[in-house]
A and B are shown apart, each in its own frame.
Chain A
Amino acid sequence: MSRYSIFSLARNAFAQHRNWQRAWRDPEPKAAYDVVIVGGGGHGLATAYYLAKNHGVSNVAVLEKGWIGGGNTGRNTTIIRSNYLRDESAALYELSRRLFETLSQELNFNIMFSPRGVLMLAQTEHEARGYQRTLHATRLNDAPTSWVDRKRVKELCPIVNDDRNARYPILGGLWQPRGGTARHDAVAWGYARAASELGVDIIQNCPVEGIDIEHGRVVGVRTGKGAIRCKKLGVVVAGHSTRLADMAGFRLPIESVALQAYVSEPIKPVMDIVIMANTVHGYMSQSDKGELVIGGGADSYLNYSQRGSWSAIEETTRALVETFPIISRLKMLRQWGGIVDMTGDRSPIIGKTPVGGVFVNCGWGTGGFKATPGSGHCFAATLSKGEPDDVAAPFSLERFSEGRMIDESAAAAVAH
């Protein structure tokens, strides 16, 4: 496969762009693989890439029922940060954020990582104290973050409403200068292209409909494109995780709900950082095209329809108009939803399951885009060894019966 570079761009420009190769192969599935990964979102594709790259396991297929990146990977608001409270989370999310720093070079694909800085506003005394605590935790965990006061918040983002008489006045904020955003589709495509080059088969339009188990061990899957045998199975299907677990005969501590986002009409640059206002449930950044990218809290009940409720949009809009008064007359262009996989402690599940050879990587809920590289990295290690690596180990399924929660739900009400 040819490398992308300034020279290949020039060469192809002279040929009227008629000679670009396809970015990844489009093979028919083989009869058997060493590892089958269900779900061609960012996490599944990253897992396949690191399996081939770091562990020499390239007899791998990624089976995606629709098109790659068409799930939550292509629907999220792309916030990347690592200032989580718990040590286990900080290790995982900071590993991921660091991988993002050089991911474009690593994959030879511009994933447009933009470390523009993420600011989490503190709008109640309680929240300010909570963030101070997180700040100290991030210092110990080497995920550089600082506390900024109200004046600095206004400097960083002049469009915020700093009125002291606001219902929720701005008291300061938690600032991670190397947090930011990346192009979500490019993350999926970049991993797909690099994995395909290393021998991984990426098979789209291939829903997994059943899982074959013999003597307590997985032996294969039944799909829309026929039966495929495998030695190990990695299930990376976000909102559909309990559906796949059902096929394999076990249960997961996961509930699937809708999370929505929307974008405004494009306007001139008004903000060059990401702002999250978690007390009032809204966050916003501006895309390169000039659209304001807006999201908020998840809908509150079971939903597989990829459409959310109007009331959730109203709540988010109310919060953001209060925080950024200049957006009050903007028109919104598009709105969409994704089905997110929520766990009780708002932390993911990475590791073994009750069925031999079946591993899960799920429960990322509303905040897993930022974890894509780190999740793939540690899940690949887990799949190749058959045992969780150090980063993945705390996120085992057993923690729910051992009472060993990694509680991020109390740490950030909106955990993107």
Chain B
Amino acid sequence: MLMIQCPCCGATAEEADFHCGGEAHIVRLAGDNDADADLGAYLFERANPKGLCFERWRHQYGCGKWFHLARDSRTMEIFGVYDIKAPAPPAEIVAEARRRIAARGLPEHSNN
């Protein structure tokens, strides 16, 4: 069970109050004349990392707002939350995540 603090309203609650919107920072296609393969990749292919991951979450049964969250998909540890408008994870959150993953003796990502 994840305990999440919403950066929009400040409330801390169990994951049941939130909704996961999946992988973050997927870059939108131009929108016209996209090749089929690009469209298929954009809609369905995912990095699906085992380790550090960045996701969009929504405070569904709270303030209703979207935000970003950094997490480890092996340990479920949450490293931080940040603004939904950020085009990429902020440097300080990435640094904090790397520090805490290394402290557990894990690589940033693993395949097994």
Contact = CB atoms under 8 A, between A and B. Distances in A.
> Which bracket fits the contact residues of B?
20 to 34
B20 A209 contact: no
A207 B112 CA distance: 7
Contacts of A243: 50, 111-112
Interface in A286-338: 300-305, 309-311
B41 interface: yes
B1 A402 contact: no
Interface residues of A, number: 30
Interface in A261-309: 300-305, 309
Contact of B44 (A244, A303, A400): A400
Contacts of B32: none
A165 interface: no
Given A254-B46, A300-B19, A300-B20, A310 B1 contact: yes
A311 B13 CA distance: 12
A362 to B, nearest CB: 12
A251 interface: yes
Nearest to A399: B40
Interface string B40-81: 110111111110010100000000000000000111100000
A227 interface: no
Contacts of A252: 45, 48
A313 to B, nearest CB: 10
A134 interface: no
B16 A255 contact: no
B15 interface: yes
B14 interface: yes
B22 A401 contact: no
Contact of B40 (A244, A254, A401): A401
Interface of B: 1-2, 14-16, 19-20, 22-23, 36-37, 39-41, 43-50, 53, 55, 73-76, 111-112
